[in-house]
Structure 1
């Protein structure tokens, strides 16, 4: 794939760190990271694309619009008195980057249907214009199955390909809910579990992050992660839980 759209089932669930892991795993390929709308930051402050570049190394980092209020892009643009971002602008920028790079990662804001503009334009619309697959980032804990199923249903309704589901922050001590969700998430998504990034991965030294990132992602998105029972931790892989087939919380 040349362009991959990264969305989430909500906010603060690890989309930026997953995007950085995807970029880091694309070794030997030129990578561009596109953030259509950055909200909640003032000009000059460290944003998501800057964080991806810090963790992943040499990438082309592009941010199309920035709005100071930590709100949905359409609302934040309206409050700031600034022009909103349109899905066509996102698609045009991604397509241009794709002519110059081997891989373009488009990281959304919040979930798939968060509004970019007052006409209802969303990241899903941009993905449709691009004909690009969408990777869904989700938490490991309670509530994730419903949110993942709803996101997957929205993708299917728009005939968009789901490239899989990645757990954005696998707990250091996973509980029963997280372990069971390893089995249930692919069914909820109707797509494969495509990886799990360990809790705290964004705090690793960049060189360590880049070295470990492929082990958090499935081969079809550039990694070496083999199967759900082998969910990684910062200090190695946990043993399998014979009762639930996932990693043990012990």
Structure 2
């Protein structure tokens, strides 16, 4: 079983959007795909991200048909905040997340793990989202935005991944400031990362080499 950890430079960048595309793309290549949202905050009833991921998985993997959104998460919290802050009763136990990861891994060929927020979002006081990616031993896909300022965010996230010797690839979600991207951001990416790709156009190429 393989796994891929989908993270981003921050919140509302497009992790779920990208993960959905990955589920569909891997399934189209004949792989049994699963999804895991370890922690979701801002949950008032059902976890929205986990619900969407499960719905897509159920279309391509019969092993997920009887699961509920709560089955593909380890923790949910009502406060829309970093897990450490949302976890007001200090309930999070990292081992429970690992156990859920291994449980879901038995149901698929590749498990897509969607993080919460960005890499340095605290899960506990001294355990960040990047530490979870490292502990799972997953390759990471970093999703970056297209808005003004994204070069700085992208480079900082890359440095964090490199500092922990985590294997990663990255893509741009062309959404915010899309009309200005070609002028204010793309010239740098073209010069420094000539093989950069977008979530809208490069998914197939990415999974063909994964």
Partners of 1:139 and 1:71 in 2: CA distance: 20
> Given the two structures, how large is their TM-score scaled by the length of structure 1?
0.70
Q: Would the aligned equivalents of 1:165 and 1:186 in 2 still touch at CA under 8 Å? A: no
CA distance 1:192–1:6, shift in 2 (3 Å): farther
C-alpha deviation, 1:194, in angstroms = 3.9
Report the counterpart of residue 246 of structure 1 in structure 2.
Answer: none
Please list, as runs of the form range in 1=range in 2, the aligned pairs for 1:45-124 lying within 5 A after superposition.
Answer: 45-55=46-56, 57-59=59-61, 60=64, 62-78=72-88, 81-86=89-94, 88-118=95-125, 120-124=126-130
- Cα separation, partners in 2 of 1:216 and 1:170, compared to 1, 3 Å: farther
Residue 169 (structure 1) aligned to one of 167, 171, 174:
174
Structure with the bigger RCO (C-alpha within 8 Å, sep 6+) is 2
Deviation at 1:135, TM superposition (A): 0.5
Higher helix share: 2
After superposition, the C-alpha distances for 1:93-115 in whole angstroms (9 at most, x for unaligned) are: 32332333111011011001101
SS at match of 2:171: strand
CA deviation after TM superposition for structure 1 residue 46, in Å = 4.5
- 1:240 match: none
User: Superposition RMSD on alpha carbons, in Å?
Assistant: 2.7
Using a 3 Å threshold, how does the CA distance of structure 1 residues 186 and 150 change in structure 2: closer, same or farther? farther
Greater than 4 Å deviation, 4+ residue runs: none
User: Residue in 2 aligned with 1:231?
Assistant: none
Alignment partner of 1:193 is 2:186: no
Distance 1:128 1:173, change over 3 A: closer
Deviation at 1:144, TM superposition (A): 0.7
Cα deviation for residue 126 of structure 1 reads 1.7
Q: Secondary structure at the match of 1:174?
A: helix
Structure 2 CA distance for partners of 1:186 and 1:39, relative to 1, 3 Å: farther
Q: Distance in 2 between matches of 1:179 and 1:96?
A: 46
CA distance in 2 between counterparts of 1:122 and 1:186 reads 31
In the alignment, which residue of structure 2 is the partner of 1:221?
Answer: 207
